[in-house]
């Protein structure tokens, strides 16, 4: 599938709140809501105009029929297009006829259009996956990767607890599995001292150091410490997570390894390399972390 050129635009709070009210958690982004409101509800031809891109870039080694079927599924399930609009999109993108795309998911799968619509429903999505694996057994990996492995009941439950544009499935799981468990509830009633840093210290560095300090000083988990930092700053946990993952180019599991006593010095060196003009505050924070955790006060 091709990627469209993206633009950054500024919108006011009222518009943003309106978009959030129209959004479906995990499915919509501000762009997809705007697309539905401005394009898909238009009376004119409302299929997004793709840019030319070699289809082999995305589906190398995948049969043409399977590639088109998977593209249709992605557009329907992730972009919110109808099967018909998704089919038009693929046809225009590939420079082929509309009926040629329909042929891939109807005649070659031995299904009628209404049967494909039934397979695209949430309750029958597993059946669609099995059908494709049976039809294309040598390409089961790419089929599995395309379909979500979270069942609909769990997915719907997560959506109910998600904030549009803010949460992703992982952040909701963290809140449900970690922030509401007994250990977190107990820790959350205890007072801890979170170090404060002057405005001259980059916000990203300050949040990382606060997280490290809480983990090492009070023997809390990274997730719990992230929650404490977010709460103290009145921001989302995802915003704090972004500071020590994306901005350091690390996965959460890699951060957990760096927080182990034997690797903590490596963490310090990474931060000094990332923020060389603030090496003193980094050194001071790490030197202030005792080898043994401090008992928290009730």
Helix (H, G, I), strand (E, B) or coil at 273: helix
**At what angle are helices 237-244 and 222-233 packed, to 10 degrees?**
120
* Exposure class string for 88-104: b at 16+ Cβ within 10 A, else e: bbbbbbbeeeeeebbeb
- Nearest residue to 126 (alpha-carbon basis) of 108, 112, 146: 146
Per-residue pLDDT averaged across 31-53, rounded? Answer: 53
Whole-number average pLDDT of the chain: 77
Question: What pLDDT was estimated at residue 149?
Answer: 43
pLDDT at 49: 38
pTM, to two decimals = 0.40
pLDDT tens-digit series, residues 127-163: 888 999 999 999 888 888 777 544 555 566 667 777 7
Closest CA to 99 of 120, 114, 113, 116: 113
Q: Count other C-beta atoms under 10 Å from residue 228's C-beta.
A: 22
Can you give the pLDDT at residue 1? 41
Question: Whole-angstrom Cα distance, residue 119 to residue 128?
Answer: 5
pLDDT digits (tens, 9 = 90+) for 235-278: 887 888 888 988 899 888 889 899 998 889 999 999 999 999 99
- Residue-wise pLDDT tens digits, 188-214: 545 788 888 888 899 999 999 999 999
pLDDT of residue 150: 46
What is the structure's pLDDT at 43?
Answer: 38
């Amino acid at each position: 599938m091709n990627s469209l050129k993206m633009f950054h635009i500024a919108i006011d709070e009222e518009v943003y709140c309106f978009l959030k009210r129209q959004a479906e958690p995990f499915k919509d982004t501000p762009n997809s809501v705007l697309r539905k409101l401005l394009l898909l509800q238009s009376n004119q031809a409302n299929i997004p105009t793709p840019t030319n891109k070699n289809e082999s870039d995305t589906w190398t080694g995948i049969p043409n029929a399977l590639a088109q079927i998977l593209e249709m599924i992605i557009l329907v399930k992730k972009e919110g297009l109808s099967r018909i609009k998704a089919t038009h999109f693929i046809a225009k993108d590939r420079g082929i006829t509309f009926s040629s795309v329909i042929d891939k998911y109807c005649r070659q799968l031995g299904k009628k259009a209404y049967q494909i619509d039934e397979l695209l429903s949430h309750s029958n999505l597993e059946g669609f996956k099995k059908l494709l694996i049976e039809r294309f057994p040598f390409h089961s990996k790419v089929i599995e990767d395309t379909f979500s492995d979270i069942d609909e009941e769990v997915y719907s439950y997560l959506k109910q607890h998600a904030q549009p544009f803010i949460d992703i499935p992982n952040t909701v799981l963290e809140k449900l599995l970690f922030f509401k468990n007994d250990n977190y509830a107990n820790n959350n009633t205890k007072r801890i001292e979170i170090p404060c840093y002057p405005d001259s210290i980059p916000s990203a560095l300050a949040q990382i150091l606060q997280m490290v300090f809480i983990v090492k000083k009070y023997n809390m988990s990274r997730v719990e410490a992230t929650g404490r930092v977010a709460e103290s700053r009145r921001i989302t946990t995802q915003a704090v997570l972004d500071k020590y993952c994306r901005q350091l180019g690390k996965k959460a599991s890699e951060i957990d390894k760096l927080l182990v006593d034997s690797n903590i010095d490596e963490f310090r060196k990474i931060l000094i390399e990332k923020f060389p003009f603030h090496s003193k505050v980094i050194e001071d924070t790490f030197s202030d972390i005792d080898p043994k955790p401090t008992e928290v006060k009730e």
